[in-house]
C-alpha cells in the first residue's frame, strides 16, 4: 500500500482532514483524563481497611450525662457483651469512614509542631478491648495493657493522659522512614508525647480531611478509660449474626437509658454511604466517555461517507484499471489510520497538558504513562471501526461507474 497518493488526496481536503484530526485529538485528551479519574475513584472505593469490616457494627449514643459517663459506658458495654453472638465490644471516640473526626498535627520532636510538613493525623481512642472489637491486625510490638487503659483519662485538651500509642504502618513510614517505629516518640505540641508500642496494618481515617488519598491511613490509636465523648460502641460478631446482633444491641441500649438517642449501623453500610458520591461520579464519567466516543465515531462515519460519495468516479476508474476491492478498502482504512495517528499524537500532548493543569489546580495525580498508548489504541480501533462501513461501500463501487458521465 502506497501512502503517497493518500497524502496527495488529503491535501485536496485539508479542512475536513484537519477536522477529523482535531476531533480525534480532543476525544483522546478528554478520554485519557476521564479514564484516569475513573480509575482513581475506583481504587478509592476499594481502598483496603485492616479491620473486620464484615463483622463490625457501630452504635452511636447521644445524650449520656458527662458526670455519670464513666459508669454508664462500662455498664452499656457489659450489657452488649452479654448479647448472644457478640465476640467483643468497646467504646471508641470515632470510627473509620464515620466523617466525624478528631485530628491533630504531630511531630517527631518537641519543636516540630510548627514545621511546615508536620502531618495532620486522626487520633483514635478506645477503651479496653478496642483492638479486638474492631479487628485490627498487629504487625509489630503489642497493644495496650489493662493498666494503660485504666490509667489513661481524657484530659481537658481532649488528649488522654497515657504515654503509649499504636500507629498505622503508613504513619510509621511517614514519621520514621526506613526505621522501626517501636520505642520512638510522637509529639503533640511541646508538652505531650507518646511512645510507640505497636504498629498495625493500615486502618482508614474517619474522612479524608482535605488531605487526599495519600493521607488516608495516617492515624494513631490511644488507650482511654470511659469518659463523655468516647461514645461510639463498636460491636463485633460473626458476619452472619451481625444484623441480628445490631438490632438486639440497639434495643438493649434503648431499654437501658431511655433518654439517650441511639443510632446503629453495620460497618458495610457506613462504607457504602461514605463512597456513594464516588460511585455515582464513576457512573457519570463512564457515561460521558461512552457518549463522547459515540459522537466521535458518528463524525468519522459522516465525513468518510461524504468522501466516498465524492470519489465514486475515481474509485470506479481505479477499479477499471485493475484495483481489487481489497485495494479500495485498504485505501480508506490506511487513510483513516494516518488521520487517527496524527490526532492521537496531538491528543496525547493535549492530554498531558490538561493533566498538568489539573494537577496544579485540583488534587489530581500525574497521569501514568500507559494511559496514553492505551487511549491511542482505543481511538485507532474506534476509527477503523467507524470507517469500515463507508469503506465497504466504497469497495462495492462497480468499475462501470468510470465509463458513465463525462
Which residues contact other proteins (rule: CB under 8 A)? 15-16, 19-20, 22-23, 26-27, 29-30, 33-34, 37, 62-66, 69, 105, 114-116, 118, 120, 156-157, 189, 209-212, 215, 228, 259, 261, 273, 276-277, 280-281, 284-285, 288, 291-292, 295-296, 298-299, 302-303, 305-307, 309-310, 358, 362-363, 405-406
Task: Indicate the residue among 189 and 399 with the shorter CB distance to other proteins.
Answer: 189
Task: Indicate the residue among 37 and 323 with the shorter CB distance to other proteins.
Answer: 37
Q: State the cell numbers at 252.
A: 438493649
Rounded to the nearest 10 degrees, how much is the dihedral formed by the CA atoms of 385, 387, 389, 390? 180
Nearest approach, Cβ of 278 to other proteins (angstroms)?
9
Nearest approach, Cβ of 136 to other proteins (angstroms)?
24
Task: Indicate the residue among 83 and 188 with the shorter CB distance to other proteins.
Answer: 188
Nearest approach, Cβ of 16 to other proteins (angstroms)?
6
Spatial contact of 233 and 80, defined as CB atoms under 8 Å apart: yes
Q: What secondary structure letter does DSSP report for 98?
A: -
Task: Indicate the residue among 237 and 304 with the shorter CB distance to other proteins.
Answer: 304
**Whole-number Å distance between alpha carbons of 258 and 83:** 19
Task: Indicate the residue among 209 and 330 with the shorter CB distance to other proteins.
Answer: 209
Spatial contact of 222 and 165, defined as CB atoms under 8 Å apart: yes
Nearest approach, Cβ of 131 to other proteins (angstroms)?
27
Which of these, 20, 81, 374, lies nearest to 253 by C-alpha position?
81
Inter-helix orientation angle 69-81/242-256, to 10°: 140
Nearest approach, Cβ of 209 to other proteins (angstroms)?
6
Q: State the cell numbers at 198.
A: 505497636
Q: State the cell numbers at 334.
A: 490506511
Task: Indicate the residue among 8 and 15 with the shorter CB distance to other proteins.
Answer: 15
Task: Indicate the residue among 86 and 262 with the shorter CB distance to other proteins.
Answer: 262
Task: Indicate the residue among 2 and 62 with the shorter CB distance to other proteins.
Answer: 62
Farthest CA pair distance, the chain: 104
Nearest approach, Cβ of 269 to other proteins (angstroms)?
13
Which of these, 22, 15, 2, 122, lies nearest to 342 by C-alpha position?
22
End-to-end CA distance of the chain: 29
What is the helix (H) or strand (E) element at residue 37, kind and residue range? helix 14-45
Nearest approach, Cβ of 279 to other proteins (angstroms)?
10
Q: State the cell numbers at 190.
A: 511541646
Beta-bridge partner residues of 192: 188
What is the C-alpha R_g of the chain?
32
Nearest approach, Cβ of 143 to other proteins (angstroms)?
28
Amino acid at each position: 500500500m502506497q501512502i503517497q497518493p493518500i497524502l496527495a488526496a488529503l491535501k485536496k481536503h485539508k479542512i475536513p482532514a484537519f477536522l477529523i484530526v482535531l476531533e480525534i485529538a480532543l476525544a483522546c485528551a478528554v478520554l485519557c483524563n476521564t479514564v484516569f479519574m475513573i480509575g482513581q475513584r475506583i481504587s478509592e472505593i476499594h481502598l483496603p481497611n485492616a479491620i473486620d469490616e464484615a463483622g463490625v457494627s457501630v452504635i452511636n449514643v447521644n445524650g449520656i450525662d458527662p458526670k455519670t459517663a464513666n459508669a454508664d459506658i462500662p455498664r452499656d458495654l457489659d450489657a452488649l457483651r452479654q448479647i448472644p453472638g457478640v465476640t467483643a465490644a468497646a467504646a471508641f471516640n470515632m470510627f473509620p469512614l464515620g466523617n466525624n473526626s478528631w485530628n491533630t498535627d504531630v511531630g517527631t520532636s518537641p519543636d516540630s509542631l510548627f514545621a511546615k510538613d508536620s502531618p495532620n493525623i486522626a487520633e483514635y481512642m478506645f477503651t479496653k478491648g478496642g483492638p479486638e472489637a474492631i479487628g485490627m491486625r498487629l504487625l509489630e510490638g503489642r497493644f495496650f495493657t489493662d493498666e494503660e487503659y485504666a490509667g489513661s483519662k481524657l484530659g481537658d485538651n481532649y488528649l488522654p493522659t497515657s504515654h503509649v500509642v499504636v500507629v498505622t504502618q503508613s504513619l510509621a513510614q511517614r514519621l520514621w522512614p526506613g526505621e522501626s517505629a517501636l520505642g520512638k516518640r510522637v509529639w503533640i505540641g511541646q508538652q505531650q508525647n507518646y511512645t510507640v508500642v505497636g504498629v498495625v496494618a493500615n486502618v482508614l481515617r474517619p474522612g479524608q480531611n482535605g488531605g487526599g488519598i495519600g493521607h488516608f491511613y495516617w492515624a494513631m490509636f490511644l488507650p482511654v478509660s470511659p469518659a463523655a465523648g468516647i461514645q461510639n460502641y463498636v460491636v463485633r460478631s460473626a458476619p452472619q449474626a451481625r444484623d441480628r446482633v445490631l438490632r438486639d444491641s440497639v434495643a438493649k441500649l434503648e431499654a437501658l437509658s431511655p433518654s439517650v438517642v441511639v443510632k446503629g449501623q453495620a460497618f458495610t453500610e457506613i462504607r457504602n454511604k461514605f463512597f456513594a458520591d464516588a460511585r455515582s461520579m464513576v457512573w457519570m464519567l463512564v457515561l460521558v466517555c461512552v457518549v463522547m466516543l459515540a459522537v466521535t465515531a458518528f463524525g468519522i462515519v459522516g465525513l468518510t461517507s461524504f468522501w466516498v460519495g465524492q470519489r465514486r468516479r475515481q474509485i470506479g476508474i481505479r477499479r477499471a484499471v485493475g484495483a481489487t476491492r481489497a485495494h479500495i478498502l485498504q485505501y480508506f482504512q490506511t487513510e483513516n489510520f494516518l488521520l487517527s495517528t496524527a490526532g492521537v499524537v496531538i491528543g496525547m500532548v493535549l492530554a498531558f497538558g490538561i493533566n498538568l493543569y489539573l494537577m496544579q489546580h485540583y488534587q489530581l495525580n500525574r497521569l501514568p504513562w500507559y494511559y496514553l498508548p492505551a487511549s491511542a489504541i482505543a481511538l485507532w480501533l474506534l476509527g477503523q471501526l467507524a470507517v469500515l462501513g463507508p469503506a465497504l461501500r466504497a469497495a462495492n463501487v462497480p468499475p462501470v461507474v468510470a465509463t458513465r458521465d463525462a
